[in-house]
Amino acid sequence: MYAVTRKLAGQVFQRMEGHLDVVFGHAANPIRHMGALVFFFFWILAATGTYLFIVVDTGVVVSYQSIAALTGWSFGGVTRSLHRYASDAFLLFAVLHLLREWALDRYSGFRWYSWVTGVPLLWLMFASGIGGYWLPWDRLAQYSAVATAEWIDWLPIFAEPIARNFQSPDAVTDRLFTLLVFLHIGFPLFTILGAWAHVHRISRVDHFPSRALALGGGGSLLLLALLRPATSSSPADMTQAVASVPLDWFVLFIHPLTEHFGAGLMWLTLFGLTVLLLALPWLDRRARVPVAVVDPPNCNGCRRCYDDCPYGAVMMLPHPDKARREIAVVDADYCASCGICVGACPSSTPFRRQEQLVTGIDLPASPINQWRERLESWLALPAPAIPRIVVFGCDRAVPLAALAAEATLPLSLTCVAMLPPAFVDYALRSGADGVLVTGCRPGSCHYRLGSVWTEARLSGARPPELRSEVARERLQIFWADAHEAHSLRTALEQFREHLQDLPLSSVTPAFRRRSNIHVHQSV
């Protein structure tokens, strides 16, 4: 039941991403870049918060007056409103980012560290957000402060209830606001430290959105700030209880829930959920796929695997047999067993004259030699009358087994970036009429960079490049997520029709021989 629920949630995210790709494109799709948006909104919070810290006075009386004056379309008012709405967006996208990573099965195995270090950040984010609502010291701040104090008092931590500090006007002093400012600055600083720990095992972090997405996200917050500026309610009055007050449900949702269900149940729920999230990578037990293995005689220290690894699992150390040379070394704790390093290795070319293709770095569970053997065996069969197409795909994208046919050979790799570009050239030279490369859409790749590196290699923008002499009209790239099997099949048939219509000078010698009778009749 759990696996089915997670899979359904993942399909929901992927379908939404696919629809938004049509509207915004991959680079400006907010769902595909939620992690980058979380960083972006944090920096907006930091910039606007720094300005507010400079201009706002803190104290029981002056704090309310100082912040209440920042309203409307003045620079201070817009800055305050941006700070408020950026905090909502920051928390919303952080929670959605966590849900998406869970739904897309990106929390266990080699990813456990990033997942576990990300969970405590939610507590820091919400603690900072709740404390920020106290600083204006209006009726909303009073309600939140009292509700939080009473909620914390349920725990047997303090000798005396901290709610006593809010029972009378004399109990609230300027020292409280000094503490609040200290906490409101301290929590974000710990958040920055935690964010560094969260991503430091990941190379090429998506830490800032594209220009279009940044302008769209920032512009949306600015529009909200102009259309509905943040305002203060009436000043806090500790002699009167707060009967009703408009809430920011993104940040202060805990208060009405605590009133309804009780402090004990809410603590139990939040602590239980936190423990469950922290334990999730180990509760979902799966057999560990063997990590990549380096073959020293075939490693020339080119550093391509080091440069392309999405998780920094490859290190370069002195070669044991070759002076003044380096050799790749795989850190098993970081390795995702994705095979992207195999596709980057220059010795992974199938043109090597070896009965057993041994490359500089390979996956024991899916050695590159088996793909050459399967390709050669299929191309040795009698050729059909229609163009033969080799489909290189990805285990995490559309299942390729259903595409198998007399004129179609599906080869599903661990990740599509495990495909060395030379295999495309080799397939076409050996008798295939076309090669279709498919995999997860950019931004959906289970290993983050698979589709990005594949497209760059095949376009010649990143080594190892596909030779410029290869006829590009016989190569098609079609990205499709797991639920888009129909779209992939349609693309395959359209590609076959395209190959059928190519002039004789563009088709492979093998297909020209198969079409010889038809050609002579036409002449």
H or E, element range at 479: strand 475-479
- For 488-508, give one letter per residue: b (16+ CB within 10 A) or e: beebbeebbeebeebeeeebb
CA-to-CA distance for 391 and 478, rounded, in angstroms? 10
Residue 149: partners with Cβ closer than 8 Å, 6 or more residues away: 161, 162, 163, 165, 166
With 0-12 / 13-18 / 19 or more C-beta atoms within 10 angstroms meaning exposed / middle / buried, residue 279 is: exposed
DSSP 8-state class, residue 138: B
CA-to-CA distance for 45 and 353, rounded, in angstroms? 59
As a whole number of Å, the end-to-end CA separation of the chain is 63
Task: Locate 296 and state its tokens.
Answer: 């020293």
Smallest CA-to-CA distance from 207 within 221, 186, 192, 219 is with: 192
Confidence (pLDDT) at 519: 30
Classify the C-alpha dihedral 465-448-412-362 as positive or negative. Answer: positive
pTM of the predicted protein model: 0.89
Confidence (pLDDT) at 324: 77
Q: Cα dist. 54→66, 76, 230, 254 in Å?
A: 11, 11, 19, 30
Residue ranges covered by each domain of the chain: 2-234+250-283, 293-522
Task: Locate 364 and state its tokens.
Answer: 């024991």
**What φ, ψ does residue 350 adopt, rounded to 5°?**
-75, -10
Confidence (pLDDT) at 477: 97
CB 209 within 8 A of CB 318: no
CB 115 within 8 A of CB 109: no
CB 434 within 8 A of CB 389: yes
CA-to-CA distance for 352 and 63, rounded, in angstroms? 74
Confidence (pLDDT) at 340: 96
CB 434 within 8 A of CB 475: yes
CB 459 within 8 A of CB 412: no
Print pLDDT tens along the chain (523 aa). 888 899 899 999 999 998 999 899 988 999 999 999 999 999 999 999 999 999 998 888 888 999 999 988 999 999 999 999 999 999 999 999 999 999 999 998 889 999 999 999 999 999 999 999 999 999 999 999 999 999 999 998 887 888 888 877 877 888 888 888 899 999 999 999 999 999 988 988 888 999 999 999 999 999 999 999 999 999 988 888 887 888 889 899 999 999 999 999 999 999 999 999 999 999 877 778 899 999 999 998 999 999 999 999 999 999 887 777 899 999 998 999 999 999 999 999 999 888 899 999 999 999 999 999 999 999 999 989 999 999 999 999 999 999 999 999 999 999 999 999 999 999 999 999 999 999 999 888 999 999 999 999 999 999 999 999 999 999 999 999 999 999 999 999 999 999 998 875 555 555 544 544 333 222 2
Q: What residues pair up with 317 in beta bridges, in sequence order?
A: 327
Q: 2-234+250-283, superfamily in CATH? A: Cytochrome Bc1 Complex; Chain C (1.20.810.10)
Smallest CA-to-CA distance from 366 within 292, 298, 310 is with: 292
